[in-house]
Structure 1
Amino acid sequence: MKFRPALFHLSARCLRETRRTALVVALGMTTAASAQEASQRDAADDVNTPLSSAANIGQQSVGALLPEPLASWNGLRPALAKKGLTFAFTYQSDPMANVSGGLKTGPAYIGRVQAVANFDPEPLTGWKGALFQVSTYQIHGVGLTGAFIGSYAAVSDIEALATTRLNEVWVEQKLTDWLSLRIGQLAVDSEFFLSPYLGIGIGGTFGWPPIATANLPGGGVVYPFATPAARLKITPSESVALLAAVFNGDPAGPGVGDPQKRNPYGLNFRIMDAPFAIAEAQIKYGADTAPGTLRIGAWSHFGRFADERFSSDGRSIWDPNGSGAPLQHSGDFSVYGVLDRQVLQKPDKTDDGVFAFGRIAWAPPDRNIIDFYADGGLSFQGMVPDRPADQFAFLATFARVSPAARAADLDANFFLGQRRPAHTFESILEATYSYKAATGLLVQPSLQYVIHPGGGADPHDPLRPIPNALVVGVRTTIQY
């Protein structure tokens, strides 16, 4: 079937941790430059700062609650930090349930441990401006999306194949005050097409959305994947940053079934696939009382992509008299924009207030399942009396199934004599509240309403539309 079923993409589409998760991990590192700081250290006032309200919650780890010998590993951790070696650990768990609609109702549990190690060689060797990083995941449980929802976007941004896998391994060198180069095994979604304000969303779509993950080989070089790559960053001024990167374009390699099973441990290190290139300009704007950032970018994949409707002889792929082999296109691309701003600032604490954010993206409709995507929302930080670290947000998304893919559905009805529903769009609404229960412990209930999961048609039964789904869950994050 040419219109690829939603479930085929779900495991490949599970998105890498959102900006919030990366920042929470980084903020657990209290003894040296954090992982997020490392990616921004070449510009003290990078356009990604000030950090979002999502990043400002739970800035201390649970180590602060432990006796000193346990918190410091009996003095080993600060001793290693003085030598340039630091560690951070984060555990996140997502018990969730689909209470109505979707493919079926029921509960599921997914959990993930992330470990990050940074090494600054300067204290030991005098090598200045360099940073090494290694990060890994231990993922356990089963996500809710595939068996219960059937949506293009995962309802949890930590959903992935249960395994222990290597994530990113890189070295970054600061070449000048305004230029840095990072090489190694990288993930696209660690720096591109992001807004820090979107980080509070638990849904995977608020990391890298389905206009990329549903369209690219293996779901793209995003969570839980990373591939060999090189990234260049230029910061000509305090308000402007320019990023460009080239990745191996298929993290799992060709094959059928779940791409994560073809690269289950993150050790494939593929280098011969068609490349994926991306570039982004980040521009800080607005006064100090209403700061914001505009990001404009584009990506291009240099592989071959099957047409969503037509075969190589120009007939519909559903035409029994046609060749049946999809028309092949050379390359794929997308353009996007991200806009965020603090729209209300508390007079007594400028980092708190109300934050607005949104993203928009377009891709060619002839070779992509999703050709248009938009999301956005409002986040409220420090607005609850006597709860300065708490945060709540309302978010919404819209992913449009391309006209070519919808037309293929109608062709199928014509040639097969069926009355299957045409795929239209998928939209997700989320409301969430992040509660700082204790130092290093966050509890975050979430409510998601998935409209037209998988574009509205059941991948198991094309004649049956998928009902809208209501998902409830509570995320727990422990930082150390």
Structure 2
Amino acid sequence: MKKYQKLTALSIALIFFACEIHAETTTPVFSSLEPSFPESITSCLKGNCATGDWGSFRTKLEDKGIKLGVLSTSEVWTNTTGGLRTGSVYTGIEQLTTLIDFDQLLGWKGGSFYSCWSYLCGNEPSEYLTNNFLVISPIEGFSTLRNTALWFQQEILGDKISLCIGQLVADSEFIISHYGALFANSSFGFPPSIYTSIPNGGPNTPIGAPGARLQVKPIENFSWKAAIFQANVYPQNINNHGFYWNLNPEQGYLYLTEAAYKYNFLLPGQVKTGAWFDSGTFASMSNSNSSSSLWGNYGLYGIIDQMIYRKQNFKKKTSENSKNGTSSSAQLKDPGLGIFGRAAFEPADRNLLSFYCDTGLNYKGLIPTRDKDTFGIALGYGQLSSTLINAQQGSNNYNANGNIAQPIPGTGLGYEMVLETTYVAQITPWLTIQPDLQYIIHPGGAQSLNNALILGIRTTLLF
């Protein structure tokens, strides 16, 4: 454990050292070193991938519409206090992706193919360290090689209509906040209001499921999409390679729909609203009859992303681009300060959570000369089902003989919260390093575990 703690501290120190080296500066020391870099190293640092252009082979493939990529994500998480236990774990995922544009390759207008193979390794920090349901990392999972996505898409009338069929993951398109995607905690991506409500988390990275998605974009700023999936993806140790498909109606289907509107009145923003429905059967949260089951499950949600400040120096750059004939409209990804918020509701009688919400802010370009780095702070809150709470309180009020008893100490249920602060340093176009801190309040929604303070470091490397 001490070894991992030293590794975490050393990694965090290296981040800030690397940021200083990468930042633009006019000091004599850096100026004297700059000419000494070999041209091959300079080209590599400025390229989009760590392995370069493969002797122009990569460019030749892309000219034919074939894009290959390998993304490596590694994380070390240390629990310093509270939770199940203190200590450190490593978790990682390697992803091999292939994207084929059939228009470039075959002249097939609007057709494309995508595949993603994932290899997970390491331990699960939430399971091993904290026993919480606002999961520390989205790449927690059973160590194995599996297919995450394998689909064909056809676009019609440009991008106004698109149909995608194959192995899909819902978290790539639904219930996602632009600003929330920065954070390491899984809750700020695909929210716990849905992954705790459907069997085995549903089609959520790293596990995909067979399905289809239709998107319609009648005007530039508005889109509507709907999808259907195999709802039960089965446990990861059973569906260990991603192809445990079962389209039996008794297992249920997952339906999602979402409408999104983008605007740019003074500064850019977007709002989304959607719903999901699972046609399977679900256990009742009331323990008055443990064998009872309920048909169907559903949830509603809303999302907002809003930029509230845009960096002045970036305005000047885009103004210059406008004079040169390029687009100058502001976008959410521009350097500046943005906020987000999400809220979701589910019925309390069949779900672990009846309400979930999160909010936060991002500042891209907080440090001068570091316009591609992003600092963020966010808060997530999950309210446990009132039906479950009442059932638990009822079991505490009566003993096995039916007589009134004292509540069991330390078992009160209520809510779980996570407060996260993070900084993503864009070292090169293909390397990011992300120190992260998470404070988990009421792990598992119970009083039996103390609040946990988690320190982490994430690196992403695109080959």
Alignment RMSD = 1.9
**1:342 — aligned with what?**
307
In structure 2, C-alpha distance between the alignment counterparts of 1:411 and 1:339, rounded to whole Å:
39
Counterpart of 2:284 in 1: which secondary structure? strand
Q: Name the structure 2 match of 1:419.
A: 408
Structure 2 SS opposite 1:285: strand
Question: What one-letter code is carried by the residue in structure 2 that aligns with 1:473?
Answer: G
Shift of the alpha carbon at 1:348? 2.5
Structure 2 residue aligned with 1:50: none
Residue 73 of structure 1, CA deviation: 2.0
> Which of 272, 279, 298 is the aligned partner of 2:257?
279
Whole-angstrom CA distance in 2 between matches of 1:112 and 1:66 = 23
Structure with more relative contact order (C-alpha pairs < 8 Å, separation 6 or more):
1
Contact 1:227 1:270 in 2 (8 A): no
Q: Could you say what secondary structure the match of 2:85 adopts?
A: coil
How far apart are 1:277 and its partner, in Å? 0.2
Structure 2 counterpart of 1:296, one-letter code: T
- Structure 2 residue 283 is matched with structure 1 residue 301: no
The answer to whether residue 237 in structure 2 is matched with residue 261 in structure 1 is: yes
* Contact persistence 1:395–1:430 (CA under 8 A): yes
Distance 2:152 2:44 in 1: 28
Identity of aligned residues (%): 32
Give the alignment partner of residue 449 of structure 2, picking from 466, 469, 472.
466
Question: What is the TM-score with the length of structure 1 in the denominator?
Answer: 0.79
Partners of 1:235 and 1:474 in 2: CA distance: 39
2:376 aligned with 1:393: yes
Q: Is the 8 A contact 1:69 1:75 kept in 2?
A: no
* Aligned equivalent of 1:292: 269
Tell me what 1:461 maps to: none
- Corresponding residue number in structure 2 for 1:208: 190
Which residue, out of 272, 293, 300, partners 1:328?
A: 293
Q: Aligned in 2, Cα 1:309/1:70: closer, same or farther, shift over 3 Å?
A: closer
2:201 is the counterpart of 1:219: yes
Structure 1 residue 176: deviation in Å? Answer: 2.3
- Per-residue CA deviations over 1:327-370 (Å, capped at 9, x if unaligned) read 21110000000001101111231511100001000000011110
1:124-151 deviation line (CA, Å, top 9, x unaligned): 3211101100011111111211021010
- Per the alignment, residue 49 of structure 1 pairs with none
Question: Which residue of the other structure, out of 381, 386, 406, is the alignment partner of 2:364?
Answer: 381
Output the amino acid matched with 1:334.
Answer: G
Q: 1:191 aligns with which of 153, 173, 184?
A: 173
Distance 2:103 2:430 in 1: 30
Letter in 2 for 1:358: G
Q: What is the alpha-carbon distance in structure 1 between the residues aligned to residue 63 and residue 373 of structure 2? A: 33
Deviation of residue 196 (structure 1)?
Answer: 1.4
Q: Quote the residue 1:173 is aligned against.
A: 154
- Structure 1: which amino acid aligns with 2:426? K
Query: Any idea what SS the aligned residue of 1:260 has?
Result: coil
1:178-223 CA-to-partner distances (Å, cap 9, x unmatched) read: 1110000101111000011111101111111211111111112112
- Cα contact 1:185–1:269 (8 A) shared by 2: no
What CA distance in whole angstroms lies between the structure 2 residues aligned with 1:415 and 1:191? 47
Is the CA contact (8 Å cut-off) linking 1:227 and 1:248 kept in structure 2? yes
**Counterparts of residues 33-182 of structure 1 (less than 5 Å):** 63-64=44-45, 71-177=52-158, 178-182=160-164
| SS of the residue 2:133 aligns to | coil
| Aligned 8 A contact 1:179 1:235 in 2 | yes
Q: How many angstroms apart in 1 are the aligned matches of 2:122 and 2:50?
A: 32
Q: Which amino acid aligns with 1:227?
A: A
CA deviation after TM superposition for structure 1 residue 77, in Å: 1.5
Q: Distance in 2 between matches of 1:383 and 1:146?
A: 34
SS at match of 1:454: helix
Deviation at 1:175, TM superposition (A): 2.2
The Cα shift of 1:437 comes to 2.6
Distance 1:361 1:468 in 2: 24
Counterpart pick for 2:389 among 398, 406, 427: 406
Structure 2 equivalent of residue 4 of structure 1: none
Gaps of 5+ in 1: 1-60, 253-258, 311-315, 318-323, 458-464
- Alignment CA distance shift 1:240-1:64 (3 Å): same
Going from structure 1 to structure 2, the CA distance change for 1:67 and 1:119 (only over 3 Å counts) comes to closer
SS across alignment from 1:196: coil
Q: Look up the match of 2:444.
A: 454
Runs of 4 or more consecutive aligned structure 1 residues displaced over 4 Å after TM superposition = 61-70
Q: Distance in 2 between matches of 1:93 and 1:285?
A: 36
Q: Contact 2:48–2:429 at 8 Å: present in 1 too?
A: no
Distance in 1 separating the partners of 2:52 and 2:426: 20
Structure 2 residue runs of 5 or longer lacking an equivalent are 1-41, 316-333, 400-404
Name the CA shift for 1:404/1:437 in 2 (closer, same or farther; >3 Å): same
2:240 partner SS: coil
Greater Cα radius of gyration, structure 1 or 2: 2
Matched, 1:364 2:347: yes
Distance 2:304 2:356 in 1: 14
CA separation in 2, counterparts of 1:67 and 1:394?
28
1:79-130 CA deviation, whole Å, 9 max, x = no partner? 2222211112211111110000001100000011112110112233211101
| Contact kept? 1:361, 1:374, Cα under 8 Å | yes
* Cα distance in 1 between the residues matched to 2:50 and 2:69: 17
What CA deviation, in whole Å up to 9, does each residue of 1:203-248 have, x standing for no partner?
Answer: 1111112111111111121122111101000001111000100111
Count of residue pairs the alignment pairs up: 394
**SS in structure 2 of the partner of residue 80 of structure 1:** helix
SS at match of 1:159: coil
CA offset digits 1:415-457 (Å, max 9, x no partner): 3345142210000000111112334211111110000010025
Worse overlay, 134-143 or 371-380: 134-143
**Could you tell me which residue of structure 2 aligns to residue 13 of structure 1?**
none
The answer (yes or no) to whether the contact 2:365–2:372 under 8 Å persists in 1 is: yes
Deviation at 1:68, TM superposition (A): 11
